[in-house]
Amino acid sequence: MKKTLIAAAVMAASGVAFAASNVTLYGVIEEGVVLTKAKDKAAIVDLKAGFDSGNRWGIKGVEDLGNGYNVGFILEQGFTADDGKEGVAGKAFNRESILYVNGGFGSLAFGLTGGLAFAQTQAIRTGWAFGTSYGASAWNSIDWVAKRMNNVVSYASPSFAGFSIHAMYSNSGIDETATDDKAKWSKNGHYYGLGVKYNANNILSSLIFEAAQNKNLAARGNRNAKYGINYSLEWNLGSITPMFGYQYIWQDKGVKDHQFGLSAKAPVAGGTVKVGARYLFGKNDGAAANQEDKHNVWTIGAAYEYPLSKRTTVKTYAGYADGGKAWKDTNVDAKGNVTANYNGYQLYLGLCHSF
């Protein structure tokens, strides 16, 4: 209630009127210490903002139109708590900025949001206890088809016996380096996503297909279309929730990766334990003739989250990654510097507060 009143006061002070007291101000602040030790490198201790829960604040609201219809919005900005910087320079709401309509037909949303297999309110990927966070244990930490995008149109159907259909399209913009016909629709970058979600009988599952045309990338980028398939499953057994995730991403003259993950979460001693292991292997079709074109990596991780109150949680994490073939031991960059590559461990201790 206090958050709603504060938001109302902010809106009133700015001269903006709204019909009902259903606008909410919210946010998350997480700060912690990360110890990273990579093979052949010295240990590094960092103050890290948003290691698990990305720092954010936002405003959201909804208006009831009657007859089962409502209109709502979400405006969400990311930032880093350790230095106060905005998530993306020049964007007032870089995490999400959408307007949506709900009704008997389902839900239709427009604006900036994440892809179906990424994050934010329109995403449906599940099946991994660590989600898209927790450092080396983050799902898709190697590669993505799409993250957050502009100019999104997203549709979610009503649920039928636990099943719902989800579709998304984004016109991600033109290549500003092009010199001819820049405004043509065919010259734009595009994203297409189609998914099915099941949520019933203590089971949450999804199957997602994504495609991204990279025509708006700079000339040095790989402009070939990228594709991805994600399947996920989690089953709430009460005392424990086991999860399974699979991903395949491929691109012509680029990387082709398979990723498998087994994880679980369970209530323990008043908090929540999360554990997970995954394995990724693939091939880089764009590798030079004298370079190793195959790679693999396995990761393991465990976290414990203990609530100090309804809004404040202490989080701990330990993870390890080990790479092979092209990702084995070390890399040598263009300047001859030797750097570790997918080999090492992370330790984390942090505090998260939501409001």
DSSP 294-352: EEEEEEEEEEEEEESSSSEEEEEEEEEEEEEETTSSEEE-TT--EEE-SEEEEEEEEEE
Q: What are phi and psi of 6, to 5 degrees?
A: -60, -45
* pLDDT higher than threshold 70 for residue 200: yes
- pLDDT of the residue at 188: 77
Summarize the confidence of residues 280-302 as an average pLDDT. 91
* Spatial distance between the Cα atoms of 8 and 17, rounded to a whole number of angstroms: 9
- Nearest 5°: the CA angle 297, 47, 147 is 50
* pLDDT higher than threshold 70 for residue 328: yes
- pLDDT of the residue at 51: 92
Give pLDDT tens digits for 73-126: 999 999 988 888 888 888 889 999 999 999 999 999 999 999 999 999 999 999
The answer to whether 165 and 206 have CB atoms below 8 angstroms apart is: no
* Spatial distance between the Cα atoms of 91 and 149, rounded to a whole number of angstroms: 13
145 token code pair: 């088809």
pTM: 0.87
Sign of the torsion formed by the C-alpha atoms of 119, 259, 206 and 301 = negative
* Spatial distance between the Cα atoms of 265 and 250, rounded to a whole number of angstroms: 30
66 token code pair: 């009657």
* pLDDT higher than threshold 70 for residue 355: yes
Q: How far is CA 309 from CA 29, 55, 351, 352, 354, in A?
A: 15, 19, 12, 11, 10
Q: Which of 136-140, 237-241, 311-315 has the lowest mean pLDDT?
A: 136-140
Around Cβ 202, how many Cβ atoms within 10 Å?
11
- pLDDT of the residue at 9: 47
Grouping H, G, I as helix, E, B as strand and the rest as coil, residue 141 is: coil
Structural domains in the chain? 2-13+20-354 (2.40.160.10)
* pLDDT higher than threshold 50 for residue 10: no
Question: Average per-residue pLDDT in the chain?
Answer: 87
In sequence order, what E strands does 93-223 have? 96-103, 106-114, 148-156, 163-173, 189-200, 203-213
Residues facing residue 69 across a β-bridge: 66
* pLDDT higher than threshold 60 for residue 148: yes
